[in-house]
Amino acid sequence: MTVVGTTWTAREGMLFSPLLESVGVVAGFTTRAQGSMAGSVYPLDEQARNRERLAQRLGFSEIARVKQVHRNAVAHISHAVDPWPVADALWTERPGLLLGIAAADCVPILVADRRSARIGAAHAGWQGTLAEVAVALVRALLADGADPSSLVGSLGPSIGPCCYDIDGDRARLLASQSTHLDEREGRVFFDLWSANAAQLARCGVQDIEIAGICTKSGGQDLWSYRARDEQGRYGTQLGFIGSRGRRPD
């Protein structure tokens, strides 16, 4: 098992995962340049149009979403459906379907199977990490027949361990994640990246990439819930993964 800190590549106003692109899938994260994708501050029809435009631009006819509630349910998706299933992770084996997971500070977790068309996406903040949504997603792929040794995973931009301080109540709830908590200057910081990489590794995922881009301080054109403006406004990016067709074995 290897964990690499390969930063994601900026291209066409988006950020892409080098590890997942190397296994033949389209995978990355939108920026402000594509507009908000799923927050509540911007008009819903505008955000729907932004998602459609994104899918078309990336060469997909459909984009599937879930209604995210910061827990660990996993939805198996064959087509984009309305209303969206309530889940915090989704997966498919159908080429041509783009999976989207909304995030402003939560970490997008994107997974692909090197030997099949299976792909998945999840998001995790402190609640999703505690509920082990990354583990739930990988287990769903394994239950469908994926071999853990052929899975690769990438953690996209999110609030980083540089900026993610949490209050005492949350720190107590996260005591089981103690190796990913750091106390500095009287505050407790949580490392979403190492905590979720550890969950993927525990499931047997062999190659794991951490983008290492902080949504608040990382210098990219990203919205951050923690860095919302004085009116409390922020938009939402979309982590995305899709397979355009049959991939090489």
Among 37, 89, 151, 214, binds Zn ion (CB under 5 A): 214
Using CB under 5 A, count the residues that bind Zn ion. 6
Q: How far apart are CA 139 and CA 136, in angstroms?
A: 5
Put the strands of the sheet holding 97-103 in their side by side order: 9-11, 14-16, 26-29, 237-242, 97-103, 62-64
The angle subtended at Cα 19 by Cα 78 and Cα 206, nearest 5°, is 85
- Measure CA 25 to chain center: 15
CA 120 to chain centre: 9
| Least distance from Zn ion to the Cβ atom of residue 243, Å | 32
Would you count residue 163 as binding Zn ion (CB under 5 A)?
A: yes
Q: Which residues contact 229 (CB under 8 A, 6 or more apart)?
A: none
Nearer to Zn ion by Cβ, of 206 and 217: the residue is 217
- Does position 217 interact with Zn ion (CB under 5 A)? The reply is yes
Minimum separation from the CB atom of position 82 to Zn ion (A): 36
Position 100 contacts Zn ion (CB under 5 A)? no
Q: Which of 13, 162, 176, 202 binds Zn ion (CB under 5 A)?
A: 162
Q: Is 143 in the site for Zn ion (CB under 5 A)?
A: no
Name the one range near Zn ion by CB under 5 A: 153-161, 188-196, 204-212, 223-231. 153-161
Among the listed ranges 77-85, 180-188, 189-197, 211-219, the one in contact with Zn ion (CB under 5 A) is 211-219
Cβ distance to Zn ion smaller for residue 89 or 214: 214
* Nearer to Zn ion among residue 121 and residue 214 (C-beta): 214
Q: Does residue 166 interact with Zn ion by CB under 5 A?
A: no
Binding of Zn ion by 161 (CB under 5 A): no
Q: Site for Zn ion (CB under 5 A): which residue of 35, 120, 157, 160? A: 160
**Residues in the site for Zn ion, rule: CB under 5 A?**
160, 162-163, 214, 216-217
